[in-house]
Amino acid sequence: MVTIGVFDGVHRGHAQLIKAATTAAAERGLPSVLMTFDPHPAEVVRPGTHPPQLTTLTRRAELAEQMGIDVFCVMPFTPALASRSPKDFAHSILVETLHAADVVVGDNFTFGHKAAGNVEKLREFGTRFGFEVQAISLFGEHAVTFSSTYIRSCVAAGDVTSAAEALGRPHRVEGVVVRGDGRGRELGFPTANVAPPMYAAIPADGVYACWFTVIGPGAKVGKVKHGKRYQAAVSVGTNPTFSGRARTVEAFVLDTEADLYGQHVAVDFVERIRPMEHFDSVDDLIKAIADDVDRTRVILARDAE
């Protein structure tokens, strides 16, 4: 049983596809396979247009496994693959390579050179080559389609609450903690400066209530336990009070002062507290940060219930 797509975000719409694939696999006594692509097809077809990435490949694999997928298959998306005709894609990839008995896709699925193939074509090839096709509608509540494009727009606007609703969990930004200018420590709020990977979908500038987790394998970070969620007030932006230019993701992890430099971490965005602001004095900034911390505790206590 094969389900196909980019699956960036592994959102609630994708969950519907995965559920259909795992259910069909169980009924037939066959393994379920999720096939995704890397890099994003848009970057190959139109270089320079790679969309902001909602999930890393590793995260996609973790989520797919949690949803019951047996095999996570990454297909390198190359110009050669992009140039294949829909028929060639169906026969060489689905039949000869994956031996698909049942293929599950979204009802807007396209494939092959210049996206010439669609669900109707896929069903024709299924009849010819011996596999069945399920096309699943990705509509959610209020006729909103669960899509990665919609979620990216929410994240870009700082609406991480709506993004979480469509994802089925908070939007996550991963990265390695690097050294910053140390200004947070001087203000009494030492921060972990998270450097995300290329193309990561970063929320709009502002301050957010987040969960912070050290996810690097075998991490030893003193009082911070690997895999445990910690509350964090996270600032995204250029730090206008100090005329900053570089856009950063800085997490003030509550109730710990562990040295996090070099650790691979995850920041899960729960709710936006306020937009990024310029303050007339350092004292005003410190007061605002203290208020941010208080609101973070309230928001995350409610989220944890």
Task: Give the domain ranges of the chain.
Answer: 2-136, 171-304
Burial-class residue 63 by CB neighbours within 10 Å (0-12, 13-18, 19+): buried
Task: Give SS3 for 221.
Answer: strand
- Interatomic CA distance for residues 121 and 115, integer angstroms: 11
Do the first three CATH levels of 2-136 and 171-304 match, i.e. the same topology? no
Class of domain 2-136: alpha beta
- Residue ranges of alpha helices (H) inside the chain are 12-28, 41-45, 57-66, 79-82, 86-88, 119-129, 148-156, 160-167, 183-187, 282-303
* pTM, two decimal places: 0.92
CATH architecture of 171-304: Beta Barrel (2.40)
In the prediction, which pLDDT does 193 show? 95
In the prediction, which pLDDT does 186 show? 79
Which contacts of 17-20 are long-range, i.e. CB under 8 A and separated by 24 or more positions? Answer: 17/104, 17/105, 17/106, 17/136, 18/64, 18/67, 18/68, 18/69, 19/67, 20/104, 20/134, 20/136
Task: Give SS3 for 119.
Answer: helix
| Predicted confidence pLDDT, tens digits, the chain (305 residues) | 899 999 999 999 999 999 999 999 999 999 999 999 999 999 999 999 999 999 999 999 999 999 999 999 999 999 999 999 999 999 999 999 999 999 999 998 999 999 999 999 999 999 999 999 999 987 655 556 789 999 999 999 999 999 999 999 999 999 999 988 777 777 888 999 999 999 999 999 999 999 999 997 655 555 677 788 999 999 999 877 666 668 899 999 998 877 788 899 999 999 999 999 989 899 999 999 999 999 999 999 999 98
In the prediction, which pLDDT does 142 show? 52
In the prediction, which pLDDT does 171 show? 98
Contact present, 269 and 170 (Cβ < 8 Å): yes
In the prediction, which pLDDT does 261 show? 87
